[in-house]
Amino acid sequence: MMSFDWSRRSFLTNSLGWVGTASLLAGSLRAQSNQAGGPLMAYVGTFSSPLRDTLPTQVDLPPGNGRGIHLFRVDRISGAMSAAGIYEMGTSPSCLAIKASGSTLYSANETDRVGENKEGTVSAFAIDRSDGHLTLRNTVSAGGAGPTYISIHPSGRFLFVANYFGGSVAVHPILSDGRLGDATDIRNDAGKLGPTKATNAPPGSFAFSGHDRTHAHMIQADPTGRFVLHVDLGLDQIFVWKFDENKGVLTPNDPFSVSLPAGDGPRHFHFHPNGRWFYSIQEEGSTIVLFDYDTVTGQLASRQTISTLPPGFAGSNFCSEILVSSDGKFVYAGNRLHDSIGIFAVGPKGDLTFLEEEWTRGNYPRSFSFDPTGRFLYCCNQRADNVAIFEVNRTTGGLKFTGHYAPVGNPSCIVFLDLK
């Protein structure tokens, strides 16, 4: 072991010099990086209560601490976020999506009813590329109550909506100016509801959230755009649709669906970058299921089931988000109540191996996202009213807390836009 015989004063003097030099260097690098790349914006969707003078019609939804869509500037070097404004709205814009061109942001407004309309809504916003600020373009009915998830077709011509409380999915055309048209198709889920006890629940679990009725929780096209998949948590099923890009219409595939274990409650899914491996996370069963996906036929075949929790866990947990790293080497799974992100290595055939879990620095992590570079992971801690920021080790898959938080009331979703 090496030995150093420095005086305390000498150490402090040298340390202060290093700190000063490092600070100047970091500041210079930060300025160069931010200037070279242009501003990086983050948009955080929240659960928000109706706001006086901004929403004259009656809205049904639980109280929320958010104020609408919160805007932030992101430091590319440290990952830290600084507040840059709020687009105030009281209809809980809980899920956001940005068009590939960067011209338009869309929100799913997770309400049961606005005025006399017993449906939620979806909105389109123009993005000012000079400062990232939003201007409302239009708002249309979602095709069901409680829209909880939206995604954009690879062509950029359609927006898909999953209505959690309505148990339906809808297709909306995206018009040439970015506004949303009325739905070209609405499909209502139907079938036998799963039990209140999940097949794969941890020992002692009382996790029950969505087997009282049909609950469409996510919808997204496959990478080819030829098929659209959506999950219904209450039915414990993943549905596969053929998609007519000319008409904006969904047609049942053959086979039309695959079933998850009874009561496990599929919530979200994510395709591996190779397009052939499909990972589904179950909210009440606390599992990830790996499926082989046939890009030609749209068929799914399950191959592995693994817990999202560390060995030996007992009690209740509700899973939330699942993400595959852009290089396809790691999978990240959100655990609410356990308040962790499970980290898994992806094997040569897509199989997962549990590596470790990282505490989210807040409770009830509803979702998380990578920044455009994949260097940072941003976790929306819904009940802690913050977004916690982690640095990603691209070699090991590990997460290291940066020490940075962003205060946001009931954050639900975060998306990024490079203002180049």
In this prediction, residue 61 carries a pLDDT of 62
pLDDT tens track for 131-162: 999 999 999 999 999 999 999 999 999 999 99
Q: State pLDDT tens for residues 252-311.
A: 999 999 999 999 999 999 999 999 999 999 999 999 999 999 999 999 999 999 999 999
Whether the pLDDT of residue 405 is over 80: the answer is yes
Span 113-130, average pLDDT: 89
**How much is the average pLDDT of 225-252?**
98
Per-residue pLDDT for 22 more than 50? no
Q: For residues 216 and 214, what is the distance between their CA atoms, to the nearest angstrom?
A: 7
Mean pLDDT value across residues 348-362: 98
**pLDDT exceeds cutoff 70 at 180:** yes
Give, in order, the Cα–Cα distances in Å from 132 to each of 37, 38, 261, 372, 384. 14, 11, 43, 16, 26
Assign 296 to helix, strand or coil.
coil
Q: pLDDT tens, 79-106?
A: 999 999 999 998 999 999 999 999 999 9
- Give the model confidence (pLDDT) of 26-61 as tens digits: 444 444 445 456 799 999 999 998 764 454 445 556
pLDDT digits (tens, 9 = 90+) for 356-384: 999 999 999 999 999 999 999 999 999 99
Q: What is the pLDDT of residue 12?
A: 37
Tell me what pLDDT residue 208 has.
Answer: 86
Q: Tell me how far the alpha carbon of residue 203 is from its chain's centroid.
A: 28
Contact 105, 117 (CB under 8 A): no
Helix (H, G, I), strand (E, B) or coil at 248: coil
First to last CA, the chain: 50
Task: Write down the mean pLDDT value for the chain.
Answer: 90
Hey, which CATH number is domain 38-418, 1.20.1250.20, 2.130.10.10, 2.60.120.10, 1.10.260.30?
A: 2.130.10.10
Dihedral, CA atoms, 151, 152, 153, 157, nearest 10 degrees?
150
pLDDT of 11: 33
**Residue 4 scores a pLDDT above 50:** no
Q: What angle do CA 416, 377, 106 make, to 5 degrees?
A: 25
Structure tokens at 175: 């018009």
Q: Check residue 90 and report its DSSP letter.
A: S
pLDDT at 19 over 50: no
Which of 1-10, 168-177, 330-339, 373-382 is least confident? 1-10
The percent of residues in the chain predicted with pLDDT above 70, rounded, is 88
- What confidence score (pLDDT) does residue 410 get? 96
Find the helix or strand (DSSP H, E) in which 12 lies. helix 8-37
Kindly write down the DSSP assignment for every residue of 91-124, as one continuous string: S-EEEEEE-TTSSEEEEEE--SEETTB-S-EEEE
Provide the total of helices (H) and of strands (E) in the chain, helices listed first: 1, 30
| 334/4: higher pLDDT | 334
Residue 246: which of 153, 116, 146 has the closest Cα?
A: 153
